[in-house]
C-alpha cells in the first residue's frame, strides 16, 4: 500500500499531467509552504509544490548565483529543462531571498499563463501579522478570480479548508503511529507520504492515506526501530539519504522540516471570516526559520517532539548556503545538547555524497550505542 505514495512522488509530473487531462482543471506550481492551498482548492486548482530532482545540472548559472542554495537551483533547473511544462500558473509566498530569486527567474524565462507573488509577513510574531496576511489573501483571491473568470463563494472556501484539514489530520494520525515502541512505518515511507501530499490531489491522497492508516492500525507491530532519530533542518525530500540512514540500523521517527511535519501540523480553525482564519493558521503554524524571530519558537517544539517520540539522536541538516537555517543551527544544537540529545550536522548539496555520509552516520550511531552501555 505504501508503494502508491512512492509512485505518486516519483511520477509527480506524470500524475499532474494525467489529472489535468482527466479533470480539465488548472495546475498551479508553488514555491514555499506558506502558499495558502485552501484557496487554490476552493478554486478547483491543483497545487503542485515545485521541488528538485537531486540530479547534477549546469543550466542555472546564467540565471541565479551558484552560491544560492542547492534546493532553489535544483527547482529552477527542473523548470528550465521543461519538467514543469504542464503548469498553468506559478506563485510564491514571500520566503527567503534564494527562493524569491528562483521565482523571479522562473517568471522571466519560463512563461506561464498566470503568476502571483503573495506578500506573506516575515515577522509572524507581530500582532499585526494576521490582519496583514488576511488583507493579502483577499487581494490574491480577487486576482485568482480574475484569472479563472469565476467568483469564489464562502462554500468554496469552506470546501478548500475541509480538504486541507482532512489531509493534515490524517498525516498527524500517521505520525502518531510512529511514536510507538515498534513503529509500523519508517521514515522513508513517511517521507514518500508527506512529499506526495504536496503534489497530489488532496482528496485522492486522503482516501489512500486513510486506507493505509486503517491497515497499519489493525496490522502487526513494526520491527524494532534500532536507534530512534529525529531529522531537523532545511527542505528535505532526499529519499536516498533517509534510506541509507535507516539501513544503518536506525529509524527516523519524527522530523522538523518543511517537506515533513512543519507542512501539516496545524489546521485552519474556520469561522465566519474564512480568509482571516486561513491567515491566522499560516501565522500561527510552526515557523520557517526565515520567520522565526525574534523568539525562536521552533526550539521548544523540537524539544517537545524529541521527548514525545523518545528520540536518541538528531540529524541536523542544512542545504548548503541556506542562511536562515545556518543562523538557527547553533541554537538548535545547543538546545539538544543541554537536553541530553546528541546531534550530527550534515550539509546537503543537489546530490548527497551518500557514501561519505554513511561513514559519518554509522560513527554517530556507534557513539549513541556506546553511551547506552553506560
Give the count of beta carbons closer than 10 Å to the beta carbon of residue 2.
Answer: 17
- Residue 373: pLDDT over 60: no
The mean pLDDT value for 201-222 works out to 93
pLDDT digits (tens, 9 = 90+) for 13-45: 999 999 999 999 999 999 999 999 999 999 999
Give the C-alpha separation, 111 to 114, whole Å.
Answer: 9
Rounded distance between C-alpha atoms, residue 283 and residue 48, angstroms: 22
Q: At what angle do helices 187-197 and 239-247 cross, to 10 degrees?
A: 160
The answer on pLDDT for 223 being more than 80 is yes
Average pLDDT over residues 151-175: 98
* Higher per-residue pLDDT: 43 or 296: 43
The pLDDT-based confidence of 293 (bands split at 50, 70, 90) is confident
Mean pLDDT of the region 126-153:
97
Domains and CATH numbers, the chain: 21-154 (3.40.50.11890), 158-180+227-372 (3.40.50.11900)
Whether 374 has a pLDDT exceeding 60, the answer reads no
Residues 2-14: pLDDT tens digits? Answer: 899 999 999 999 9
For residue 327, the model assigns a pLDDT of: 86
pLDDT band at 372 (very low <50, low <70, confident <90, very high): low
Amino acid at each position: 500500500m505504501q508503494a502508491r505514495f512512492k509512485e505518486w512522488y516519483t511520477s509527480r509530473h506524470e500524475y499532474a499531467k494525467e489529472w489535468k487531462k482527466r479533470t480539465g482543471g488548472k495546475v498551479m506550481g508553488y514555491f514555499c509552504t506558506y502558499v495558502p492551498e485552501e484557496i487554490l482548492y476552493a478554486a478547483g486548482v491543483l497545487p503542485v509544490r515545485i521541488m528538485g530532482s537531486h540530479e547534477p545540472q549546469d543550466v542555472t548559472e546564467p540565471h541565479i548565483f551558484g552560491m544560492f542554495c542547492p534546493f532553489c537551483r535544483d527547482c529552477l533547473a527542473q523548470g528550465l529543462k521543461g519538467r514543469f511544462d504542464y503548469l498553468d500558473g506559478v506563485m510564491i509566498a514571500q520566503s527567503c531571498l534564494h527562493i524569491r530569486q528562483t521565482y523571479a527567474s522562473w517568471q522571466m524565462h519560463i512563461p506561464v499563463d498566470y503568476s502571483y507573488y503573495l506578500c506573506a509577513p516575515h515577522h509572524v510574531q507581530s500582532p499585526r501579522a494576521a490582519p496583514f496576511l488576511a488583507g493579502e489573501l483577499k487581494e490574491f483571491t480577487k486576482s485568482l478570480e480574475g484569472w479563472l473568470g469565476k467568483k469564489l463563494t464562502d462554500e468554496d472556501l469552506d470546501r478548500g479548508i475541509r480538504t486541507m484539514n482532512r489531509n493534515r489530520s490524517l498525516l498527524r494520525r500517521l505520525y502518531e503511529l510512529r511514536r510507538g515502541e515498534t513503529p509500523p512505518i519508517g521514515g522513508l515511507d513517511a517521507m514518500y507520504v508527506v512529499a506526495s501530499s504536496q503534489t497530489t490531489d488532496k482528496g485522492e491522497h486522503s482516501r489512500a492515506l486513510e486506507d493505509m492508516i486503517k491497515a497499519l492500525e489493525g496490522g502487526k507491530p513494526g520491527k524494532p526501530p534500532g536507534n530512534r532519530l529525529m531529522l531537523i533542518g532545511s527542505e528535505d525530500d532526499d529519499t536516498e539519504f533517509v534510506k541509507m540512514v535507516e539501513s544503518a540500523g536506525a529509524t527516523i521517527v519524527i522530523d522538523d522540516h518543511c517537506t515533513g511535519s512543519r507542512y501539516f501540523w496545524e489546521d485552519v480553525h474556520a469561522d465566519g471570516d474564512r480568509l482571516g482564519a486561513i491567515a491566522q493558521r499560516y501565522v500561527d503554524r510552526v515557523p520557517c526559520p526565515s520567520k522565526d524571530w525574534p523568539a525562536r519558537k521552533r526550539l521548544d517544539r523540537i524539544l517537545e517532539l524529541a521527548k514525545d517520540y523518545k528520540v536518541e539522536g538528531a540529524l541536523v541538516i542544512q542545504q548548503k548556503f541556506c542562511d536562515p537555517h545556518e543562523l538557527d543551527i547553533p541554537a538548535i544544537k545547543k538546545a539538544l545538547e543541554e537536553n541530553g540529545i546528541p546531534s550530527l550536522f550534515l550539509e546537503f548539496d543537489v546530490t548527497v555524497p551518500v557514501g561519505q555520509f554513511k561513514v559519518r552516520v554509522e560513527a554517530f550511531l556507534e557513539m549513541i550505542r556506546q553511551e547506552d552501555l553506560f
